[in-house]
Amino acid sequence: MRRRDLLIAGAAGLAWSAFPGQRAAAEDAGANGGPGGKPLRVGLIGCGWYGKCDLLRLIQVAPVQVVSLCDVDSKMLSAAADQVALRQASKQRPRTYADYRLMLKERDLDVVLIATPDHWHALAMIAAVEAGADVYVQKPISVDVREGEAMLAAARRTNRVVQVGTQRRSTPHLIEARERIIQAGKLGTVGLVEMCSYYHMRNRDNAPDEQPPANLDWEMWSGPAPLLPYNRIVHPRGWRAFTAYGNGIVGDMCIHMLDMTRWMLGLGWPRRVSSMGGILIDKAARADITDTQTANFDFDGVQLIWQHRTWGAASDPKYPWSATFYGDKGTLKAGVNGYDFTPVGGGEAIHRDVAYELDKYPEDKTEKDLETHVAPAIRGHMRDFLAAIATRGRPVADIEQGHISTTSCILANLAMRTGRTLAWDPVKGEVTGDAEATGLLRRPYRKPWVHPAGPG
């Protein structure tokens, strides 16, 4: 186990006790990391479901001061401001903004959390680091590959810490599985990982278009994406069902398991990516993302296979969203609810369930829409983020790692779209020998918004 990997793995959850220096750094970042030794000043862009989940977990682990919130839905924005006022220690109600540019123009934020729909991630994140803030941005980092490249370049140019919300890297029981099973050699040589999601999460509605509600600035919500007629399926939370705003279930769910697998096995870029799928069962719904898709990610010496179905039964009801690692000495099933290790030929099997931490954080029991089994992972991810801020180091889910995992998933969708296996050259940032696929690495932006890779 490399020392660097050990330090990164130890920045969250169960591993905190092993690294008191990082723990102290995180506590210092939260309590004394701002100007003049004051708590870090925090802003949130995107006050919907996961924006609040992330922000309220940050409040739980550090005495930060949430000073600014931004959302294009005035009702959502006001409700979030009320909730934050109740939860943060100062009881102060944050300032509210309908335009993130006005919020960032104040230049008084140490940390910005970004939890907008995916099509807004790139512009908001780049603007935040250019305004001097360290950033926690939700996954996937981008909708197209060129956005991701621009985001990585902006983070490095401004020397800001950017943590991506792939919190499987900070999930306590998965940190344990990585150390106790994989890095301890219990699997032996791993040659295949099967990743999956069998959640029935694809929207099945067929609602008609209508006028947007008065509380929603639909023009601003659409931003650089096409200005389509408003549909109540899209907002709030339903936008993931449409390719205009994201990359479907591969971009939403595969990225978590792919990123987790890459982290556990120490993998970089895939050499080749292929994919097949489509809308095979639920053809009547308005959603245009696939209901069935497989993808193959070819890494040197190990194959990663993804499958999702939004219909039918899970192959293993205990692990409907998970990754199964096959080694010559054993098998590891790992998911958000726990892990199971089974050695080949008998021996000691190991099982671990997720630890909910409800006794320590009782407010988790009543928080609306909170995934209580994921809350410990978000807290660990926030602690790791704070430690990186304090040391000016790289967090466990650094923007570069987020870019690799995001791009890999985008390539899977492009492979399905083109019907070809795509060979990826990470140095040149192109699909080898495939000008058409390379041309699809950048999506068009709606005016007046300008793609962060520049006009063209």
Q: What is the pLDDT of residues 349-391, one digit of tens each?
A: 999 999 999 999 999 999 999 999 999 999 999 999 999 999 9
- Residue in the structure block whose two tokens are 């993808």: 295
Q: Do 120 and 146 sit in the same domain of this protein? A: yes
CATH code (residue 412): 3.30.360.10
pLDDT in tens, 408-423: 999 999 999 999 999 9
pTM score, whole prediction: 0.94
Which of 88, 70, 81, 80 is CA-nearest to residue 49?
80
- Which pLDDT does position 37 carry in this prediction? 72
Question: Is residue 395 within 8 Å of residue 117, measured between CB atoms?
Answer: no
**Judgement on whether residues 324 and 200 belong to the same structural domain of the protein:** yes
Please check whether residue 369 lies inside any domain of the structure: no
pLDDT of residue 28: 55
- DSSP class of residue 387 equals H
Model pLDDT for residues 126-156, shown as the tens digit of each residue: 999 999 999 999 999 999 999 999 999 999 9
Q: Do 60 and 190 lie in a common domain?
A: no
pLDDT on residue 184: 98
Torsion of CA 318, 324, 327, 330, to 10 degrees: -10
Pair 301, 426 in one domain: yes
Q: Tell me if the bond preceding 452 is cis, omega within 30° of 0.
A: no
d(Cα 293, Cα 280) in Å, to the nearest integer?
A: 9
Same-domain pairing of 181 and 328: yes
Residues 140 and 279 in one domain: no
In DSSP notation, 118-141 reads GGGHHHHHHHHHHTT-EEEEPSSS
411 and 422 in a single domain? The answer is yes
Q: What is the enclosing helix (H) or strand (E) of 158?
A: helix 145-158
Contact 275, 294 (CB under 8 A): yes
- The answer to whether position 365 is within a domain reads no
One domain, residues 34 and 183: no
Across the chain, mean pLDDT equals 93
Share of the chain above pLDDT 70, in %: 92
Please choose, from the candidates 108, 290, 262, the residue with its C-alpha nearest in 3D space to the C-alpha of residue 178.
262
Q: Give 41-53 as a DSSP string.
A: EEEEE--SHHHHH
175: left (phi over 0), alpha (psi -120 to 50) or beta: alpha
Do both 106 and 250 map to the same domain? no
Tell me how many domains the chain contains.
2
Residue 7: predicted pLDDT: 31
Task: Residue 98: give the domain boundaries.
Answer: 3-168+376-398
pLDDT above 90 coverage of the chain, percent: 91
pLDDT in tens, 318-328: 999 999 999 99
Q: Is residue 384 part of a domain?
A: yes
Reading the chain (456 residues) residue by residue, the pLDDT tens digits are 233 333 333 333 334 433 344 445 555 555 555 656 789 999 999 999 999 999 999 999 999 999 999 999 999 999 999 999 999 999 999 999 999 999 999 999 999 999 999 999 999 999 999 999 999 999 999 999 999 999 999 999 999 999 999 999 999 999 999 999 999 999 999 999 999 999 999 999 999 999 999 999 999 999 999 999 999 999 999 999 999 999 999 999 999 999 999 999 999 999 999 999 999 999 999 999 999 999 999 999 999 999 999 999 999 999 999 999 999 999 999 999 999 999 999 899 999 999 999 999 999 999 999 999 999 999 999 999 999 999 999 999 999 999 999 999 999 999 999 999 999 999 999 999 999 999 999 999 999 999 999 987
Q: What is the CATH number of the domain that holds 43?
A: 3.40.50.720
Residues 118 and 217 placed together within one structural domain of the fold: no
With respect to residue 442, please indicate whether it lies within any of the assigned structural domains: no
Same structural domain for residues 206 and 271? yes
Please tell me whether residues 386 and 411 are part of one structural domain: no
